[in-house]
Structure 1
Amino acid sequence: MHRRRTALVLSAAIAAAAPLLTACGNDAHPGAAAVVDGQRITVSQLEERVGEVRAAQRAAVRDDAQYQQVIARTGTLTRDTLHTMILDRVLHHAAEDAGVTVSRKEIQRMRSGLEEQAGGAKGLEATWLQQYGIPPQRLEENLRLQLEAQKLAERLGTDTSRPEFWKALSEASKQLNVDLNPRYGTWDVQKSSRADAKTPWVRDVTAAQAQQSM
């Protein structure tokens, strides 16, 4: 159960980690949703990742009315997905700096344990999709993230809920010079939460696109 708690704690913490990522937000990188260590996360890459989630949700929920409810509940999916993509890179950088590595065998061992608790592979995929917005094809990638976080925390002599762990991620984000497109919001360090940019004419088009594709 400890391994499952660690995974779920990290997944929940990802949603609250936004203030640790510094963003200057400008138009120096057209077409980019964010820039991390000089490498762009393009808008098209972000849209592709969001599309993966929507496709998985559509496959899991065949009823049109229920699918619309799912879309309504995940209206911030684009921003949340971008946040996860950024945090993945930040965490990987912090883990590398600490000498942390994760093997495929470790990922498979973790997946097997979680599948046993979830009642099988399909149960685990459904849980990760519903609770964390992770589509099946990204599951092992996310489990690598979980393991890197767990092993980084152990290397630091702490756990993923402690300030020492998040301080390491904050240092990594500074080194990577994360630059977020203001279209997707800003990071509010003072309030320790993500804040939406005050641009009412900008909206998350994912839900509208999903409805049009029905």
Structure 2
Amino acid sequence: MHRRRRTALVLTAAIAAAAPLLTACGNDAHPGAAAVVGGGRITVAQLENRVDEVREAQRAAVADDAQYQQVVSSTSSLTRDTLHNMVLDRVLHRAARDEGVTVTRKEIQQMRAGLEQQTGGAKGLETAWLQKYGIAPERLDDNLRLQLEAQKLAAKLGTDTSQPAFWKALSAASRELHVDLNPRYGTWDVQKSSRVDARTPWVREVTTADGQPGTA
């Protein structure tokens, strides 16, 4: 279980919550697109739909509005984190394909069954993935496929997901796919296969009353 949790954390954990929120619209180089990966667009609408799925699941999981607002506050980077995951999913899939790695539906079902046993059933697993990794219940199987691809890719390379050899393969896939983010969501670091926040002229960082960065 610990290895699975580490893999999930590597591939889906939130980018630092202290990063500045980006509130302006993108430029004309990305009309309607949050990112372009391998010539395919991840549209802003698709990104927003994914975020809405998580927010709806979070709202259903808490008892009242005050608790929900606390959850929203603690996951303020959800949009950027979700885009990171959507891009990384495609990058990892390319890296796995390049190495001849595939994942079957049966393997996903087996992994899910094992995790459900450890988390108290289907509902327990959905809650755990929602709280820890920001994965909506309807996207759980997709995320498990991602975890399996990562594990099998690492095994094929004779390494694990924490080692440079694994991330070198993802870096190569990022270059192949020419990942290009809309500047409102930052930039894509090819070497790290990770989204990073970019300094932009339309964002001014301020410090809130609790000492955390914000925007104005």
TM-score where L is the length of structure 1? 0.83
Asked if 1:127 corresponds to 2:128, the answer is: yes
Counterpart of 1:135, as a letter, is A
1:105-135 CA distance string (max 9 Å, x none): 1001100100000011111000000000001
Structure 2 Cα separation of the partners of residues 144 and 127 of structure 1: 17
Residue pair 2:99, 2:156 contacting (<8 A) in 1 also:
yes
Higher helix proportion, which one? 1
> Match for residue 29 of structure 2?
28
> Match for residue 194 of structure 1?
196
| CA deviation after TM superposition for structure 1 residue 26, in Å | 6.2
Residue pair 2:174, 2:190 contacting (<8 A) in 1 also:
no
Residue pair 2:180, 2:188 contacting (<8 A) in 1 also:
no
Residue pair 1:182, 1:197 contacting (<8 A) in 2 also:
no
> Match for residue 12 of structure 1?
9
Secondary structure, in 3 states, of the residue corresponding to 1:40?
strand
| CA deviation after TM superposition for structure 1 residue 201, in Å | 4.8
> 125-134 vs 26-35, which deviates more?
26-35
Q: Percent identity?
A: 69
> Match for residue 78 of structure 1?
79
1:78-100 CA distance string (max 9 Å, x none): 00000000000000000011000
Task: Say if 1:188 and 1:142 are closer, same or farther in 2 by CA, change over 3 A.
Answer: closer
Gaps of 5+ in 2: 16-25, 206-216
Residue pair 2:13, 2:133 contacting (<8 A) in 1 also:
no
TM-score where L is the length of structure 2? 0.83
- Runs of 4+ displaced beyond 6 Å: 189-193
Task: Say if 1:152 and 1:189 are closer, same or farther in 2 by CA, change over 3 A.
Answer: closer
Equivalent residue pairs, number: 194
Matches within 5 A, 1:166-185: 166-185=167-186
| CA deviation after TM superposition for structure 1 residue 17, in Å | 10
> Match for residue 65 of structure 2?
64
Gaps of 5+ in 1: 19-24, 204-214
Secondary structure, in 3 states, of the residue corresponding to 1:101?
coil
> Match for residue 46 of structure 1?
47
| CA deviation after TM superposition for structure 1 residue 62, in Å | 2.7
Matches within 5 A, 1:81-100: 81-100=82-101
Structure 1 Cα separation of the partners of residues 14 and 36 of structure 2: 18
Counterpart of 1:9, as a letter, is R
1:34-65 CA distance string (max 9 Å, x none): 00001000000000000000000011013110
Residue pair 1:50, 1:78 contacting (<8 A) in 2 also:
yes
Counterpart of 1:145, as a letter, is L
Residue pair 2:175, 2:190 contacting (<8 A) in 1 also:
no
Asked if 1:103 corresponds to 2:104, the answer is: yes
Cα-Cα RMSD: 2.5
| CA deviation after TM superposition for structure 1 residue 194, in Å | 2.1
Counterpart of 1:138, as a letter, is R
Structure 1 Cα separation of the partners of residues 110 and 199 of structure 2: 41
Counterpart of 1:6, as a letter, is R
Q: Which has the higher contact order (CA 8 A, sep 6+)?
A: 1
